[in-house]
Structure 1
Amino acid sequence: MTDETPVQQLRHELLVSGLSDWVSLAEVQQIISHYQLADTDEDRQQLVLKTIGTLLDDGLMDLGELPAQDNPFQAWKPVNVALDRLKERFIDHYSDPTSWDYSIWLGLTDDGRSVAEALRAG
């Protein structure tokens, strides 16, 4: 995967990770650190916004909050609202990870699951 851009690599990792469980923003940060995809906090923030934006635009993942017991995933819709909430919670409060690390989650859509399974198999 070394010839992939940081956005492509992060997309790939998030999709495949989503096959196992919901993906927290904390996990997104861990993937960025593990693969050294961004050098500065600003680069990291922009990578997260851009990557999640492409996943939402492509209909591969939803962004939102984990459900309460026996309720479905609480996806933020439409995409522009989801991205605005992400910016407000993640960018505006970046210095306080406890306000976003395990309160913002990504989940695969049906299309995303198909793409993720193909990535994992390929």
Structure 2
Amino acid sequence: MSISGFPGFRPPRDEVLLLGLVDWVPLERVHQAVVDAHPGSALSSSRESTLDLIDELARDGLFDIGDLTGANARFIPWSTSRSESLQRIRNAYVDGFDDPDQWSWFCWLDLTAHGALLAQPMEDRLRRSTEP
């Protein structure tokens, strides 16, 4: 079972898109999607792939990067540029990897309307394929 809850394998990008339909996606889930897709890869490679995936998702306008510092722990997008946001993530995630309590929840991704346009048909197909 994948982290999105559907049977079978999907690329990490698709897994994160599916997760985004449910809720904000923490850094830890993005990391896990990459690790699951490339078991046995070196940790440094998995971390770089995770950062690359976040960069791609934000660059393509599929997710906003932010955290849950809003009222009632709501998502707030970061006001920093994409490259500055990625550097912030790198500092917490790569440099502080030995402290998963810190980096796992350091940043979150919020699915945009554009991201939902890609993710919803994918989820619909997966639901139909698992119906009896």
Q: What TM-score, normalized to structure 2? A: 0.77
Change (3 A) 1:89 1:40: same
Match of 2:55 among 44, 49, 53: 53
Higher relative contact order (CA 8 A, sep 6+): 1
Identical aligned residues as a percent: 29
CA distance in 1, matches of 2:40, 2:24: 23
Q: Which runs of 5+ in 1 are unaligned?
A: none
Q: Is 1:79 the counterpart of 2:82 in the alignment?
A: yes
| 2:108 alignment counterpart | 105
Task: State the Cα deviation string for residues 39-65 of structure 1 (Å, max 9, x = none).
Answer: 111011111011111001101001111
Contact 1:89–1:99 (8 Å) recurs in 2: yes
1:85 maps to amino acid: R
Tell me the C-alpha RMSD between the 2 structures: 2.2
Unaligned runs of 5+ in 2: 1-7, 126-132
Q: When the two structures are superposed, what TM-score results if normalisation uses the length of structure 1?
A: 0.82
Moved over 4 A (4+): none
Q: Deviations over 1:24-78 (max 9, x none)?
A: 1122233234333561110111110111110011010011111333575221232
CA distance in 2, matches of 1:71, 1:102: 12
Give 1 or 2 for the bigger CA radius of gyration. Answer: 2
Alignment partner of 2:22: what SS?
coil
